[in-house]
Each structure stands twice: as C-alpha cells, then as structure tokens.
Structure 1
C-alpha cells in the first residue's frame, strides 16, 4: 500500500470534508486532490521520474502539503529540509541526495541559489523571482491527469535528515511501507478517531510533523497548517477550529500553558495530548492536565529511523515513563558499550541500566542511512538498532530513559546518568527547568554541572546544594558540584537540548 493510493482512498471516502485549513482558506479533500493532480502533471512534464529526489525548503503551507502528495503519487522522493540549517549544511543535503528539483520560498532563496552544487537542479520558487519555474506556474499549467506509476511498498517515500547535535545531517530513507505502518501505529497508539482535527505546527521536515499530516489524511481529519509557532495564535486557533488532538514537543506545550491568556480559555473539543522529542517534567504534565483536561495523554518515544520505540499513556500516573513497546516493536536493554562491541544478546537484568536497542524487523524501521555505510554499521548490529539511549525497566515492565551513552558522566570512575540528577532538581519548587552535563576536571575526570532555569529568582546555589545533599534518591557523590542559572535552556528546533552549546562553554555565566 503506497501513500498515493491511501491519499486517493481518503478523497473517495469523504471528498467534501475539510482536509486543510490555513488562515481564512479551507480546502476540501476533493479540492486538494485537484491541486495535487495538477502539480503532479506539471512535475512530470518537467522530467520528474520515479525515485527522483525533490528537496523542499518550505514552511508548513498548503503548497507544501500539495507538493508532498503530488510527489507521492508520482513515486518520487519528498526530501524536506530544516530551513534553519546552515547554508553549508543545506548545500551538503542538496548534493547528498543529488536533488533533481529544489523547491524553496523567499526566506531561503539566497542560500539555495548561491550554493556550490555538484549538479544544477531545477529551481522551483514559492513567491520567489528569478527561478526556473514558480509554484503558481506548476499549478496553472497542470492538468487533472498525469502518468500513473507502479509504486512498490519498499520504494522510498521520503528522506528525512536528522538534525543531530554534531557532524553533518544524516539522511534517513523511509519507504511507503515505513510511513504507512508508522502512521497506523500513531493513530492506534494515540487513540485517534475518524475526523480528528490537529494543529499542523510541527514542521513537516520533522517526523512528528509528517506523522500528523499523514494521520489526518488517513482519518479524513483536518490539518490546520501553521507556518510558524506562536502560542497566542495556536491557542486561538485551537478554540476556533475545535482542535481535538495535539502532537507537540514539551517546549511548545510549555509555551501554550504559560501564555497569560490561556486561563481565560476552554478547550472542550480537545481529547488527546501527545508529546515527543524530549522529556516532560512532572510540573508541566500537571499544568497541561489542569488546563486541557485531556482524555488521553501520551508520551511517544521513538526516532526518525524507527518511528516508535515505546509509548506511555499513563504519564499523569507515572511522570517520566516511556512505557511499553509500540504495536510493531520489540526492544531490549543491553550492556552499555560506547564502542558498540557488546552483543544484542548481552541483556541487563530488570531494574539495571542498559542501552536501549530496537528490533529492525519492525515495519516502521528504515534500512540504513543514505550514502552513510559507516553510520549504518555503527547503529545497526545483528538486526538491532542501537539507539544510544540509556534506560531501565521497572517492575511493571515500563521503560524509563536516564540519558544517552555520550552524555554519561564519568566522575572518579563512577558512572552518573544525568536524568537521575535532573529528576531530583526538577522537583524543587523554585526550579522551572534543568539539564545536567559533565564538565572536564583534572582530578575527577568529569564533574556534574547543573544548568538551572529558576522559577523563583530567590533560589541560590547553597539552597539547591543543600536540597541535593539531603535528598533520599540522590547519593552524595552524584550531586552537582557546580550550578549555572540561565533564563532558558538552549534547544534545537526539534525541542531537544543543545548539549554541544553547553559543553562548549557558551553558557558559563549566570544569566537571569
């Protein structure tokens, strides 16, 4: 089952349902299909063929969605790129996938057109001058029919580039089967129903944004497309469009529930909250529950490479829990080994910390990185994907994440897992957010450093240190030896902590 077919089935089922909302514009499934077909026919006339790569630098717009489905129908490969990548990384991605077309908007036009490329792609612009073809021309010169292509389930549907915090972005090819299975899992694991309505604010270049888009099509739901995240606009839109489900990062939820106007709003249509990309604090879980009162509140733990590892629908009862394996998944916890010499058979006992590995036979799993056999060999061993994440399983069989192998702190020969310390400090009433990293030390190898976002500016280093010393869940040697106060934690566009910035000393002084 390929995505182009699935889209067409949804059009047949409910042609008059609203598929996309953006601002004042409302597009039915039938209208969307007409636009998709016209763009698909134009792309074919320009020479786009099955499995050709189309690199896309666009925000979440109706045009982006049309292009996605047009490219799926042709059997080409949709390759969306983070607009915030450096010019060097953008040019690297264009060259890496050997893009036949590059589609971009005004904000990225200069970067794309000034790049040193190994071969000249066709430039398609959205409200951009001096390109080969404009999006408007694609639409206006297209027809309702295009050449139908035989598409196999294992053909590549998309290539997503992982943002990462070090090194070049890595291309993750995902087949039609991968995307179909992942979306079905998402719908099932998040308790979605027919005709859901969601905010399409997570970027489509991210697996979370793409999952929201495809899920709404399969459910004949409504994707409320938002090019930029603005908490005020999102809250108003949630009320006006009767949004029923959200799939966002914890940072986005934080901004929504702490907006000054949220206390005057109610959200009777909102049933389901789902988050991914980073841990969510107990305080934020409580705040979201208080304001949105969801029927379902789910933590989704996964990756670009394998969409689902585990999910937890009991986050209000078990904050910080990643839950049990998804419907297509099997996981193990093995002896941590940064050099990946350990066998997938060397599992740890229940309650012990180990590296989380995931069975590659899952229909949600990629086959390997694009043009990166070295990265593939490093991550995949004997049919298992090594996540680099460390965790343990409790007595009920639920998974908890404690950090990453490369974030583990080595203090005087002892292994310290940052999230063990973070969970304790996060519970302090004067702490809004915290992240713990290791800092080089001549005597100890590394010392524990806590970067703290205060909730109350009366909090002091002495107060936090005394709190950690007396806490029953924290051994004395594990407590931080240094505290740095920040106005906010540095994060990537996916909402993950930008550890490299902290380790590089870019945040070494008190800021408040």
Structure 2
C-alpha cells in the first residue's frame, strides 16, 4: 500500500490517472442520466469546460458560486474551475433560501454558475447577488455542448497551484449555528485523499457508490470509478432503497460512503428481500452516530466488507475512525449511554481534550491550556493536522472561537464533547451546543438518547433543555416507530427507564413529534436547538405540557 505523500491539486491527480488508466470508467450514472465517461474522456471534458469558462470571463482566483445539481455537470464544472485557478464556492442547497443568501453576501462571489432557473432567480435577489459580475448558464448535456461549440486547439494549460493555495470554500450545513464557509487549501484535499488510501485501504480499479458529490472529486486521484446514484442531495432520506441496492449489485460496487440514513435503507431493503452484497469491501457511515444494530446488520448483508465509522466535520475530515467489530464489542456500553465509539486518530491527526467552555481558548503564549488525559473525564474534542482546513472565510470572530495554538500547532475545536475510555478509545457524547445544563450538572445527548432509543416503539429521540440557559429542565422529544404506537404508554416506559438510569436529572416531560427535524446534508443530525425553541414556547403557554406524572 503506497504511503508517499500527495501533492498538487485534484486536476493534476485527474490528469495523471487519465494517463495511467485512460480507458477505465471514471464516472457512470446508476440511472443512465448521462453518458458514462472514461478517465481520458473526463479529462478532455474538463479541459473544454475550462476553456468555456475562460471565454465567459472567469479568471484565476475568482470566487465562483457553483449552484449546479449533483451529477456529471457538477463534477466537470468543479474540476474546470480548479483547472483555471478559480475558487468554487459550495453551498448546501437544502439549507433554505435565507441561509443561502446570507452565505452569498458573506462570501462575495464574482461569478455565478448555475441552471437557467438559478440564473433567473439571481435577478430577483439583486442585493444578495450584488458582487456577482459574471453569470454562466450551464446547458443541458454540457459535454455534448462543449464538443460542439469549442475548438480543442484553444485549450489553455491548467493553472499551477501551491499546496498552501486556496482551493475551495465549502459551507457547513449549519446544524448547530449559522452556516460558515470553510477554506479548503489544496493540501487539505490531498491529506483527505491520502487518509482514504492509508486508513481505509482504498485501491485503484475499485468502484465507489458516490452518494456525496465531493467523493467524485477525490475518486480520480484514487483511480476508482464513481457510480452516481439517483439521490436528491437535499432529501437523502427520500432516496429509493431499491435503486440504491440495484446500483450496488449491478455495478459490482466495492466501496461506499454514506449517511446512516442511506445505510439504514440499504440494510432494511437487503434484509427484507434476503439479499447479500458480496462485492462490497468497505462501507463508511458518517454524518451522525450510527447505532450498533445498524452496523451489525450491514456487516451481515455485506459479509466481505468492513463497516467503518469515520469521525470528522466539514472543517476537518477524517479525524478518527473505528470499525463495526469494535462497536459490536461496545454495544451494551453504547446503548446504556456511555457514548458512541469514535475509535482512534488517523495518522497525522493529533487529538486532545480540553475542559468544555463557550469562551475562546488562549493561545500558548497568552495563557496555560489545560488538557484532559485521564480516562472517563468529559472534554471538548480538538484536532490538529494537515486535514484541518484554514478556518472560516471572512469570519474572524468565529475563527478566534474555534482555533488556538498549542505546542506550536493550530488546533480546531470540533464543538463535540467526548472522553477517553479505559481502552484508549475516543468516545462521543454529543454536540457541546446541545448539552443541557441542569441544576444537577450537564447532561449530554448521547448519555440520554441511547437509553431512550432502545425502547420498543421509539424510532429516535432528542434531548432538549427548556428554560434558563444555565439552569435548564431536561426533556425528551420522541419520534415514534409507527403511527400505531401508543405515545402515552411509550412515554411512561421512557420515564421509567430514565428514572432508573438518570435519576438525578428528574426528567418528567416527554413530547411527541411526527418527524424530528434533521440537517439537509445527511438527514441524520437532529436539530435539537430548533426543537428546544419550539417546545420552550409551548411550555411557557402551558406549564403542564408533556408531564405524565
């Protein structure tokens, strides 16, 4: 397994792969929505697309808002922008128009690339789009359009880049705060590619089910084929489970990276139809904690695969990982509220824990930084390494809150709470912003929700706090497994279980939501703060609401 470091940018990686594996399929559609492409033809399309963008007035270093639906057009557009040295700005379309407008205003892109509808919409958002000077409509069947309209002899050489150059601005999903633009350098992409090879054993000639668009950019550097399934990126929970499994089987997929929601769809469909996935070598689930039963089920239907759970965020990925075997060993511990297992750090990542605080941490020359090294002591997870991005774009306050210097290295505060267990595994207890601060001490989401989720009739749950931020009342919001489940009986069972396991917190309220609100990117992160605001307002109007005893 090669371990030499990777340099250059993703376009240079694609060029090398096109030279080494010219006839290997690079990208194909699981539902035939576009023509399959070899690495050689993909690179030629990228060159033509780069020429098209140059002719439309896009220059090196131009911030370019890329509002193109996932698929082949998005892939070659992103490669083409990096080819000419422009900076793609990627905003999650599912975060809502208000948040999207806020992101655009802060980033101040000079160029907008999108569909006819996106370009038309921009004219009605003049204030938001005031920085945009060039608007480029992406035609349908872009590859055919490029070959028909452009002269290959005019193709320029790709713009050289340094590892420390800005490669892209990718916005967070904003699940526990406003979305923030994360500054990706070329070296960050390279570190992520290297980790995929080194930690997870991905090799050339493999076939990837690409449920996240960014992997279509990484895969050419790895020499593997991307199968693009029919999934609406704004609503992965609505994806057709049959189409996903059919794509895995028909295309002999060997590797896949997906959210727990997609993982559950694969598991349920295969279990119901008595199907196995023998060609899968690895399955990676990320975006939210994956329950042990899901990992065990996936490992049963993919007998030749390792199910990995990588840990990270938009700001730093991957940071740590573990596999289904380790999680299976810790099943009872996890289900009893001792936290999900994140495993151990990837090579090149330095993980530390610091006492939780909402205040900025001092840099080492400004004051002493306390570290938590003892097992079973909760702290905030912080990471340093090449996979850590350059920080937030044009948000100095957020950068000061999230970064600090320790031992001459810059650390990123993940915003997650965790601890080291006695085996040396990093355990995850929940988001710091979602921890409920009660009069009897802090109560983290994973300590409580895992206990509730194993109760029959509960699909998933959310711990929320209502009242004063320093003296909150902990409450549970549950999503029932079926509409026929009796909420009153289930709620009483929940309260009885919590009284046995978390008696000191005296939880007496349980609320019911038909569907818990989740993030747009993975459809897995529960919006607990949104629920807290909603139910706090309701309890203010009716103080007895949710009380069953």
Given the two structures, how large is their TM-score scaled by the length of structure 1?
A: 0.89
Q: Which residue of 1 aligns with 2:531?
A: 502
Select which of 447, 454, 462 maps to 2:473. 447
Q: Which residue of 1 aligns with 2:16?
A: 9
Q: Which residue of 2 aligns with 1:280?
A: 290
Seen in structure 2, the aligned counterparts of structure 1 residues 446 and 364 have a Cα distance that, compared at 3 Å, is same
Note if 1:196 corresponds to 2:212. Answer: no
Seen in structure 2, the aligned counterparts of structure 1 residues 275 and 200 have a Cα distance that, compared at 3 Å, is same
CA offsets per residue over residues 18-46 of structure 1, 9 Å max, x none? 00011332111111111111111121233
Note if 1:119 corresponds to 2:131. Answer: yes
Select which of 435, 444, 448 maps to 1:421. 448
Seen in structure 2, the aligned counterparts of structure 1 residues 341 and 99 have a Cα distance that, compared at 3 Å, is closer
CA offsets per residue over residues 346-377 of structure 1, 9 Å max, x none? 33522100111112xx1111222111111111
The CA distance in 2 between the partners of 1:460 and 1:220, in whole Å, is 50
Q: Which residue of 2 aligns with 1:435?
A: 462
CA offsets per residue over residues 248-283 of structure 1, 9 Å max, x none? 111221233234885243311111111111011122
The CA distance in 2 between the partners of 1:242 and 1:282, in whole Å, is 26
The CA distance in 1 between the partners of 2:221 and 2:306, in whole Å, is 20
The CA distance in 1 between the partners of 2:457 and 2:96, in whole Å, is 37
Q: Secondary structure at the match of 1:445?
A: coil
Note if 1:249 corresponds to 2:259. Answer: yes
Q: Which residue of 1 aligns with 2:170?
A: 160
The CA distance in 1 between the partners of 2:293 and 2:512, in whole Å, is 19
Select which of 221, 224, 232 maps to 1:221. 224
The CA distance in 1 between the partners of 2:456 and 2:229, in whole Å, is 35
Q: State the 1:162 CA deviation.
A: 1.0
Seen in structure 2, the aligned counterparts of structure 1 residues 34 and 407 have a Cα distance that, compared at 3 Å, is same
Relative contact order, CA 8 A, sep 6+: which one is greater?
2
The CA distance in 2 between the partners of 1:120 and 1:139, in whole Å, is 28
The CA distance in 2 between the partners of 1:499 and 1:467, in whole Å, is 21
Q: Secondary structure at the match of 1:55?
A: strand
CA offsets per residue over residues 282-301 of structure 1, 9 Å max, x none? 22223222333352111111
The CA distance in 2 between the partners of 1:237 and 1:461, in whole Å, is 40
User: Which deviates the most, 218-227 or 105-114?
Assistant: 105-114
Seen in structure 2, the aligned counterparts of structure 1 residues 111 and 190 have a Cα distance that, compared at 3 Å, is farther
The CA distance in 2 between the partners of 1:259 and 1:109, in whole Å, is 39
The CA distance in 2 between the partners of 1:345 and 1:441, in whole Å, is 28
1:14-413 to structure 2, matched below 5 A, reads 14-22=21-29, 23-24=31-32, 25-105=35-115, 108-116=118-126, 117-127=129-139, 138=146, 140-144=148-152, 145-165=155-175, 168-202=178-212, 204=213, 210=214, 212-226=215-229, 228=231, 229-259=239-269, 262-313=272-323, 314-319=326-331, 320-341=340-361, 343-359=368-384, 362-382=385-405, 383-413=410-440
The CA distance in 2 between the partners of 1:405 and 1:164, in whole Å, is 14
CA offsets per residue over residues 79-134 of structure 1, 9 Å max, x none? 22222233333333334333232112256444333212223332222358xxxxx8
The CA distance in 1 between the partners of 2:287 and 2:416, in whole Å, is 13
Seen in structure 2, the aligned counterparts of structure 1 residues 283 and 110 have a Cα distance that, compared at 3 Å, is farther
Seen in structure 2, the aligned counterparts of structure 1 residues 135 and 503 have a Cα distance that, compared at 3 Å, is farther
Long gaps (5+) in structure 2: 1-7, 232-238, 332-339, 363-367, 539-544
The CA distance in 2 between the partners of 1:4 and 1:414, in whole Å, is 51
Equivalent pair of 1:447/1:481 in contact (CA under 8 Å): no
Long gaps (5+) in structure 1: 129-133, 205-209
Seen in structure 2, the aligned counterparts of structure 1 residues 166 and 139 have a Cα distance that, compared at 3 Å, is farther
Equivalent pair of 2:207/2:255 in contact (CA under 8 Å): yes
The CA distance in 2 between the partners of 1:217 and 1:195, in whole Å, is 10
User: Which deviates the most, 287-296 or 274-283?
Assistant: 287-296
Given the two structures, how large is their TM-score scaled by the length of structure 2?
A: 0.83
The CA distance in 2 between the partners of 1:39 and 1:403, in whole Å, is 43
